[in-house]
Amino acid sequence: MDSALLARARAWRDTDPDPETAREVDRLCAAGDEAELLDRFRGELEFGTAGLRGLLGAGPNRMNRAVVRRATAGVARHLIATVPDAARRGVVVARDARSGSDDFALETAGVLAGHGIRVHFFVDLAPTPLGAFAVKELGAAAGVVVTASHNPPAYNGYKVYWDNAAQIVPPVDAGIAAAIASSGPANEIPFLPRAEAEAHGLFVPLGDELALRYQHAIAGLVLHPGEGRDLGIVYTAMHGVGARFTLEALRRSGFANVHSVPAQHAPDGAFPTVAFPNPEEPGALDLALALCEETKADLLLANDPDADRLAAGARDREGRMRLFSGNELGVLLGAYCLTWRTPRPANPLVLTTIVSSSQLGVIARDLGAAYAETLTGFKWIENRALELEQSEGRTTVFGYEEALGYSVADVVRDKDGISAALVFADLAGWCRARGVTAWGYLEEIQRAHGLFLSAQKSVTIPGAEGAATIAAVVDGFRARPPAAIGGLSVVETRDYRAGVPGLPTSNVVAYLLEGGSRVTLRPSGTEPKIKYYFELRETPGQGEELSAAKARGDERLAALVADFVRLALERGQPG
């Protein structure tokens, strides 16, 4: 057993404010579990992607009270140093239903209060969009939401918003990380328990009143009130915290025929019916789809556990329940908001990411709206929207990313699965009143603005060598760029690490292909994965049925994916 490793583990244990995780370290040391100790103590959980996310457990490379306490000390110190009047304005603290969320939220509040910063604390479980809304609504200096979003049950996380109510971006994240590194042992960080913080006026409970203000705000996003409210809807909260809020939003808008999946309705951090509570994962929506058939529902709506994402499905003209892809849903919502918002916003703006469908850009051009692309992640979308609102007088109408993240207008400066569910239900009701389905409306959009087909492939490469292998694959494409993919010539290569005008650098490579198609590859920011994104633009023939053009496009898209996978294998991707 490595004596230096044992010394690091025991030194960390001695400063751990949580007796339970301290005992966990003792058990690992006594068992001589060197591999597990090395994984937990070889480094620290990296502060990035707007905060922290990791496995629960003892050690600096896990999510636990000690790590949260030190992270919050970093947030508090950087906040006081850089944001005017931060202590008085305070920090919003919210959490979901995951294991450890209650403890981590109270740790966060205690450290903030220990630094003299007022805490606006949600006394009940809250979805991530409500936490982000509260930062904006209260004029808070920052916000922290304890959540790991759609990760498996063994994870938790810590998401940080700054005084603009959007997730943090550079240089704020680097400033916080530096402050964390110099914050000292966890048990020496200033800390006030809740009772003491309340006695000093530093703990302000948030209750139903703020949730009601949120409901009023998102109700204003409805474009066709009263139309098609007889729709039958199935909803699932995926064992998360969205049911109370999404069902209330639908009820207030007049949707009365709504069925919530019983086994997934109540918040439960164990996620007993889904191993991976992400609506994109195969099988995650099986219970919801079964309830759709049982109730003959017209629409399926699903939030992830912290309700910042939305998955949706609708009946097609043959009566089959079909799920929309993230891009299809983004195109539907974007076109709907751009076309039907009245009065028309001044200088309308829509945004998406470099790995999402470029169809939104074509729609924006055709409808006379501004369009912007950002790096992957809603932190980039909302911060860019804020910049363009200020510099160009733009009005943000809609933003989305293909991973089921949508933001309508500027009510929440983050993705919001609750308001997106409400607006999509409104869209479907309007379609019903016109005698078409949401799928029919998508066809109308494709006929007017072009047919774009997309696909995604993720390859998981775990273990200590996984990150190096992923990096080698991406660098292999840089070193040997293909001249053609799937029979389509590469007309431009964009290396975002080398720099693309208007965007920060990022480890992403994109190949723009003839005819408006595109392939993009990047490592995941939160998982040991490399992700490939494919988009193929198909042009229907004169008088051709859209279904025939789509079938032909699907074949060409499959060939594009297959050829690129072959190229990836040649550049070191495991088979």
Q: What distance in Å separates the CA atoms of residue 31 and residue 229, rounded to the nearest whole number?
A: 61
Give the count of beta carbons closer than 10 Å to the beta carbon of residue 306. Answer: 33
Is the CB of residue 55 less than 8 Å from the CB of residue 62? yes
Q: Is the Cα dihedral 465, 470, 476, 482 positive or negative?
A: positive
Q: What distance in Å separates the CA atoms of residue 461 and residue 20, rounded to the nearest whole number?
A: 32
Contacts of 244 (CB under 8 A, 6+ apart): none
- How is residue 42 annotated by DSSP? S
Is the CB of residue 342 less than 8 Å from the CB of residue 435? no
Write the CA distances from 75 to 81, 86, 302, integer angstroms: 10, 11, 33
481: cis peptide before it, omega within 30°?
no
How would you classify the pairing of strands 119-122 and 91-95?
A: parallel
Write the CA distances from 304 to 416, 536, 541, integer angstroms: 11, 28, 40
Q: DSSP assignment of 271-283, as one string?
A: -TT-SS--TTSTT
Write the CA distances from 208 to 123, 270, 491, integer angstroms: 9, 26, 55
Amino acid identity for residue 573 in this structure: Q
Buried b (16+ CB within 10 A) or exposed e, 509-539: bbbbbeebbbbbbbbebbeebbbbbbbbbbe
Contacts of 382 (CB under 8 A, 6+ apart): 166, 167, 399, 407, 413, 414
Residue 524 annotated in active site:
no
171: cis peptide before it, omega within 30°?
yes
- How is residue 572 annotated by DSSP? T
Terminal Cα distance for the chain, rounded: 35
The one catalytic residue among 3, 99, 101, 149: 149
* Three-state secondary-structure class, residue 351: strand
Q: What distance in Å separates the CA atoms of residue 298 and residue 151, rounded to the nearest whole number?
A: 29
**Could you identify the residue written with the tokens 């609750």?**
418
Contacts of 245 (CB under 8 A, 6+ apart): 127, 130, 211, 214, 215, 307, 418
The distance from CA 523 to its chain's CA centroid, rounded to whole angstroms, is 16
Is the CB of residue 139 less than 8 Å from the CB of residue 21? no
Write the CA distances from 140 to 84, 123, 206, 221, integer angstroms: 11, 17, 13, 24
The catalytic site residues sit at 149
